[in-house]
Structure 1
């Protein structure tokens, strides 16, 4: 088999650049009022997002031109590092809390506070791609040698992230792992059994915490408590409804004047809908559909199983997160805090998503030469 290089997938490259550019624009549009009130600088969040974007572009191009096979040797070290960082969140005065969740680590010399769960998602994808590739097909189909080691790692990460608490990222971790196990050759019956066995646990975790029960009830009827538990979703729906078909114009949002909370992070899609209407939100959804289509196409056309699993995991991560974010702001699923990939304000998320997109593009650069023989 002869492998040759080609240009990276142009669809993915252009889509990622467009989403990132939209993100910079919308972070400024949604945050300049808040920046002026809190920091006396309307450009505060814009300047930070531009700084994050520059770093993200550097790692993006680094990943595009670095053979993805080189990352295989870092699979276990990155996994261990991510588990350590997730554990460090619970050390007093080290983990930073916001909105009732402890998701960031305070590191004095860094210009931003890293979010360990962003690294953890990639570390899990890389480890599972390496683990499933290393295992022979007969081992993959056995529970003890095939599925159990992966499930143990997934559960450790799941519980650490859930404890922050970050229910949405925990669900993404589970979704990614099931897709990669399926593609890796795990028996479908084993996966079905795991899903069925996890349902009671999922219901227990959902009802265990009072705030989760409140969010579930507010999702079913947010107008029952419009000034408290239902406030987020009602303001989000008002923003989306105000935009109608074409929107009220860039920078003209009314909801960003401290009506809609987290307007530059979790609910930035609502501001897009208010300022650019249904057409604007449809364009965003189409861009993520393009990533889904091209990402799995890259996975199917990869020259080896490691590339297939890595591409499928990265694509699933980005798409799952975008589905949950859009589902929350449109009241399709209960409210949970998660950002919109490439668009929402935040350094850790943007840098890791751009890095992963770069790896996806690197996988797309390799193809089997026609007529090549081993």
Structure 2
């Protein structure tokens, strides 16, 4: 379980980046929703302890439990369907013994770990129909369970992670281009069908969000309201921002025009209070964190380590892009948190678990 590690192999750079993002999150949440700041601080403290502890566990030993992780993931997602807590028209939360959490966030990490070991085990047969079909089914079951909550944004993240895992795992380029040739027109057709008035492919609120993105003027008082105010808040921050916890009456945040300011639209608060400079600083921190994970992936001792580190880097990069894209109105409204910054203890702790394993992959990296 434990190995002899050298201190000079420890990735202090990754820890500093993660802590810097977490500090930004604590500060910004303190301005957006002061009542949640102490909970976020406790979450960060617990996350750091978990991350450091996991960094010294041999990830190869942990991955031997890959089937237990997969089955446990299905059980948690199944319990959400049976006895999940409802909120905002979705059933995504599970409450056990007074502890409420979101299993779909943990599913991202568990599926990365599962497929890392599964693909490494069948590496030589990865491009055979049998293995590809098995992987598709194994991914399809939890993906459908997440989609039915409904959690469309999380299901999209899972698809992205799945693509990264297959690519890094060594899937044939012929299969990649073949899949793209089928998937791209299929997605276009599916979206066209989903947007039909009598279609049941998407929930009504999901279709309306897309329509609000395409034609925001028509939905400016309801569905596009959040994003329009988010853009206004970011723009009003100009170069240097209005200042942390400012009391300006012209503040979009202070006027309570930003809903979900501590979660989905945390970047709007950053833009308004810290301006363009602060926004760019956060984007750079997120980019460097993702790049550091990719750097660990390149030097990993085996395929499983490469997949885990690359998938964690891809997860952080993709979620950051989507969250900031929604806040700046270049993407339709979704419900994805900004990694390590948005309020949400399940998301936060899940990311810290993933980072702990990435740190251990770095400790065992190839020396050459």
Identify whether the pair has TM-score above 0.5, normalized to the shorter chain.
yes
User: Quick one: structure 1 residues 239 and 150, their matched pair in 2 at CA, closer, same or farther if it must change by over 3 Å?
Assistant: same
Give the C-alpha shift of residue 329 in structure 1: 0.8
Alignment of 1:351 onto 2:342: no
Equivalent residues of 1:266, 1:339 under 8 A apart: yes
Alignment of 1:130 onto 2:117: yes
Equivalent residues of 2:290, 2:312 under 8 A apart: no
Alpha-carbon distance in structure 1 between the residues aligned to 2:152 and 2:357:
27
1:252-301: CA deviations, max 9, x gaps?
Answer: 25425421110000100110001001111101110111112211111011
User: Quick one: structure 1 residues 140 and 325, their matched pair in 2 at CA, closer, same or farther if it must change by over 3 Å?
Assistant: same
Give the C-alpha shift of residue 108 in structure 1: 2.9
Give the C-alpha shift of residue 127 in structure 1: 0.9
Give the C-alpha shift of residue 206 in structure 1: 4.7
Alpha-carbon distance in structure 2 between the residues aligned to 1:343 and 1:152:
33
RMSD of Structure 2 on Structure 1 (CA): 1.8
* Secondary structure of the corresponding residue to residue 90 of structure 1: helix
Alpha-carbon distance in structure 2 between the residues aligned to 1:205 and 1:193:
23
Alpha-carbon distance in structure 2 between the residues aligned to 1:126 and 1:79:
9
Alpha-carbon distance in structure 1 between the residues aligned to 2:193 and 2:76:
23
Q: Which of the residues 208, 211, 232 maps onto 1:238?
A: 232
1:152-173: CA deviations, max 9, x gaps?
Answer: 1221122111111111111111
Give the C-alpha shift of residue 205 in structure 1: 7.9
TM-score (norm 2): 0.90
* Secondary structure of the corresponding residue to residue 219 of structure 1: helix
Map of 1:275-354 to 2, 5 A cutoff? 275-354=273-352
Equivalent residues of 1:256, 1:271 under 8 A apart: no
1:233-255: CA deviations, max 9, x gaps?
Answer: 11111111111111100012542
Unaligned 5+ residue runs, structure 2?
A: 196-200
Question: Which residue of structure 2 aligns with residue 96 of structure 1?
Answer: 85
* Secondary structure of the corresponding residue to residue 367 of structure 1: coil
User: Quick one: structure 1 residues 192 and 101, their matched pair in 2 at CA, closer, same or farther if it must change by over 3 Å?
Assistant: farther
Alpha-carbon distance in structure 1 between the residues aligned to 2:61 and 2:228:
47
Q: Which of the residues 220, 229, 244 maps onto 1:250?
A: 244
1:173-216: CA deviations, max 9, x gaps?
Answer: 11111111111111122233334434435526853222222111
Question: Which residue of structure 2 aligns with residue 12 of structure 1?
Answer: 14
Unaligned 5+ residue runs, structure 1?
A: 33-43
* Secondary structure of the corresponding residue to residue 251 of structure 1: coil
Runs of at least 4 residues of structure 1 off by over 4 A? none
Q: Which of the residues 102, 126, 130 maps onto 1:144?
A: 130
Q: Which of the residues 58, 79, 88 maps onto 1:67?
A: 58
